[in-house]
Amino acid sequence: MLRSVGAAIFGILGDRYGRKYPYIANLVLLIVFELATGFVQTFNEFLAVRALFGIAMGGMYGNASATALEDAPIEARGLLSGMLQEGYALGNLLAAVFNLAITPNQPHGWRALFWFGAGPPVLLILWRLYLPETDAFKYIQEDRKAAGHEDVAKGFMKQAMPTLRTHGFRLIYLVLMMAGFNFMSHGSQDLYPTFLQRTLGFSTGKVTVTTVVSNLGAILGGAVIGHMSTFFGRRLSIIFASLMGAAIIPAWILVRNDGIMAAAFFEQFFVQGAWGYNSKKMFGLIVFRVIPIHLLELSPEHFRSFVVGTSYQLGNLVSSASSTIEATIGERFPLPPLANGLARYDYGLVMAIFMGCVYAYGTSSVDEIVADGSDFACDDWTGGT
């Protein structure tokens, strides 16, 4: 829930003061709360620290997307946006690998994984310190000064309300769209390890291997279907990915041996393939449409970090109940307990129905808004495009 708070706070700071230092401050908080997680002793302490961590995590997406993409040339936007989005699957894969390598092999258990997780952001801080502010934000600063606002902060505030009035419905649309896509990810990923362990009786190691295989499918799917959309169009590619993902659902939940890894691979191939559409041709120009660049292109120029981060995280908030919904309904379908006495439920049945509905919703939420292809849409001082 608090990711949305972080997205709003750091999005506003990024649009007001620049992408660089709010992003670095965000990373510092991320490190502090990640380290603190490894020292908690009670569940309430754990919940409090992870709530604060959610603020830091939620603030990352908007400024990271703007930093990575808003200066990118048209020819590179699709590729870079796809790489940024597939970082989600790669990070998930690496987390599974490090969990398998670290957690069982030292005396601190799961705590060591969180302490280790505080390390990589240090490298990002050092990297970002040596990179300049984005050219796009420098242009925005000059634009504010040219309009007679020597105080950049006042210029930002003067733009805020007209822009929100003009683009409020677009923000709502982006939230609903991102809710659909995040439901695809959460609905197919969050409860799946529990399904493998409790319903199928997989060991922890086999669950981890299946997770790694499925994330490899996610990375490949985003690239392949994203490239396909260059030739077949964005909407058709998403519909194709959704139909194929729905068709694989029976194998994804009914196979009872190691072959389920192949089903998990292809299910995530098409889930992330739906996220990974990338371009459309208009007036002889290639307009790239991977999710991050799509959000940036539909965001008001002076509020990119805020709109991108907030719409993504609000959509994520809506979809975050996926595993709770699936688990709660799944408890209505009990199965005989495992040999070690653990309770079992038919989570697979519930996940299958849930994902079928999500694919239908995700397909219906795809729009046909196209940017001009020459640059990101620019807003004037009244908030109009």
| Angle, helix 135-146 to helix 152-189, in steps of 10 degrees | 140
Residue of 183, 185, 186, 290 lying closest to 234 (CA atoms)? 290
Confidence (pLDDT) at 282: 35
Of 382 and 85, the structure prediction assigns the larger pLDDT to 85
214: number of CA atoms within 13 Å, CB side?
Answer: 27
What is the pLDDT of the chain when averaged over all its residues? 81
β-bridge pairing 344-345 and 334-335: antiparallel
How many Cβ atoms are within 10 Å of 197's Cβ, its own excluded? Answer: 17
Q: What is the dihedral of CA 199, 205, 206, 207, to 10 degrees?
A: 50
40-44, 208-212, 342-346, 365-369: segment of lowest average pLDDT: 365-369
Confidence (pLDDT) at 379: 38
Residue of 260, 296, 233, 311 lying closest to 80 (CA atoms)? 296
Of 36 and 61, the structure prediction assigns the larger pLDDT to 36
- The three-point CA angle 306-309-314 to 5° equals 110
Confidence (pLDDT) at 338: 76
Q: Which helix (H) or strand (E) holds 192?
A: helix 192-194
Q: Give residue-wise pLDDT tens across range 335-382.
A: 888 777 778 889 999 999 999 999 888 776 655 444 433 344 433 333
Q: Give residue-wise pLDDT tens across range 156-207.
A: 556 666 666 776 788 888 888 888 888 998 999 999 999 998 888 888 889 9
Confidence (pLDDT) at 121: 93
Query: Domains, the chain, ranges and CATH?
Result: 2-364 (1.20.1250.20)
CA distance 359 to 89: 19
Q: What's the pTM?
A: 0.70
Question: Are 5 and 55 a contacting pair, CB within 8 Å?
Answer: yes
21-30, 52-61, 86-95, 283-292: segment of lowest average pLDDT: 283-292
Q: Give residue-wise pLDDT tens across range 266-320.
A: 999 999 887 765 444 433 333 334 566 667 767 776 677 788 888 888 988 888 8
Confidence (pLDDT) at 229: 67
Confidence (pLDDT) at 304: 74
Confidence (pLDDT) at 79: 66
User: What is the average per-residue pLDDT within 152-157?
Assistant: 54
CA distance 7 to 178: 14
Q: Give residue-wise pLDDT tens across range 108-123.
A: 999 999 999 999 999 9
Residue 222 confidence (pLDDT) above 80: no
